[in-house]
Amino acid sequence: MTWKVSILGAGAWGTTIARLLSQKGHQVLLWEVFSEQCLQMQTDKENSKYLPGVSLDLPMLSISNDLDQAVHFADLLILAIPSKFLQAFLPRLSPLLRPSQSILSLVKGILPRDVPRLLLDDLQEMLPGISKDQLAVLSGPNFAKEIAQDLPAASVVAGQNLPFLKALQQYLSTAHFRVYTNHDVVGVQLGGILKNVIAVAAGLMDGKSMGYNAKSSLIVRGITEMSRLFVAMGGKQETLYGLSGLGDLIGTCTSPLSRNWWAGTQLAKGISYDELQRTTGATVEGIDSLPGLLKLADIHQVELPICKEIHNIVFQGKGIEQSIQDLMTRKLRSEREELC
């Protein structure tokens, strides 16, 4: 595979994928929206803001602040921009695209729209020059810091065009990063969204020292919530128990490397999400996706009690203890019934 690739977004994950591909010998251009941050990376050969200590001094990697240049350079564009910024960014991107280009999304979120949809559906509408067969998504238990340290990891790439998926699989896979293919575009995307919300809840529990019993129960009940929406939206149950579902859920709920888990621990201290954003600039997809996720649940008549309580805590100021009490005192049911 001889694609030239531009990665749009130089956060930790975008930078890590840029490093991985350029180490493999691919021509890579990493696009950073802010000129000062771009200059820092060009000068220091390091993304000191999002991936400190990891060298970007690689002959096949270039870094640019010029979006026209980045799009013109690439056969394959990799989107690594937080979902809350995509609605403003995609109209800038659309007129620059060529019909021959393909897009791989690394985004695990939902655009903030009145009628929310999964991201690949939004990309198809907002980037009309790109066909459905040229779109794919990558998801899995992938902490950027570990992959940048060449620790072993696995992921899954999903889309509708099998030859394209197989080409991406070969292009992305290394001795340290193993990529699988999956046709379940709905399930793979939902897994990446839902697990982030459950991870926020796990961080809240750890921040409140609620113990392993509670956290284990939360993860299992989280799987149940994920399953309900998977089925309602046409996803496959087997995807739920794969890398983008259970695999990503376990990692995100148990590791301090998880930004969503970390955000939950901060909420447990009484720090509001507005304050977190103001003081750290952190993007937490598990929180940003909540309004759209609950709208999807309403559309498909699915109950997501954990997600709803996290929304109530973050956006309505509900007390954490009261939310836990309300979850614990819901109507008693059989586990078999709850799994339906």
Given the DSSP bridges, would you call strands 51-55 and 46-47 parallel, antiparallel or unpaired? antiparallel
Q: Do 108 and 141 form a contact (C-beta atoms < 8 A)?
A: no
100 belongs to a structural domain: yes
User: Burial, 161: exposed, middle or buried (Cβ in 10 Å; 0-12, 13-18, 19+)?
Assistant: middle
Given a cut of 90, is residue 59 above it in pLDDT? yes
Return the H-helix or E-strand segment holding 269: none
Domain boundary among 154, 183, 212: 183
Listed range (65-74, 174-183, 272-281) with the worst mean pLDDT: 272-281
220 and 297 housed in the same domain: yes
Same domain, 175 and 262: no
The tally of domains found in the chain comes to 2
135 falls within a domain: yes
Annotated active-site residue 195? The verdict is yes
> 23 Cβ partners below 8 Å, 6+ apart?
58, 60, 174
Q: Rounded to whole angstroms, how far apart are CA atoms 14 and 339?
A: 36
The catalytic residue among 45, 195, 208, 236 is 195
Residue 283 located in a structural domain: yes
Q: Are residues 170 and 52 in the same domain?
A: yes
pLDDT digits (tens, 9 = 90+) for 284-326: 999 999 999 999 999 999 999 999 999 999 999 999 999 999 9
pLDDT of residue 20: 98
Q: Is 188 a member of any domain?
A: no
Show the DSSP H helices in 94-184 as ranges. Answer: 119-126, 144-148, 162-172
- Taking a C-beta distance cutoff of 8 angstroms, is the pair 118, 230 a contact? no
CATH number at residue 171: 3.40.50.720
Same domain for 158 and 208, yes or no, is no
Strand-pairing partners, residue 153, are 177
Q: CB neighbours of 150 closer than 8 A, spacing ≥ 6?
A: 176
Same domain, 203 and 167: no
Domain finish residue from 183, 209, 244: 183
Domain interval for residue 203: 193-338
pLDDT digits (tens, 9 = 90+) for 93-138: 999 999 999 999 999 999 988 899 999 999 999 999 899 999 999 9
Span 204-251, pLDDT tens digits: 999 999 999 999 999 999 999 999 999 999 999 999 999 999 999 999
Same domain, 177 and 322: no
Tokens of 188: 């793979």
18 & 160 share domain: yes
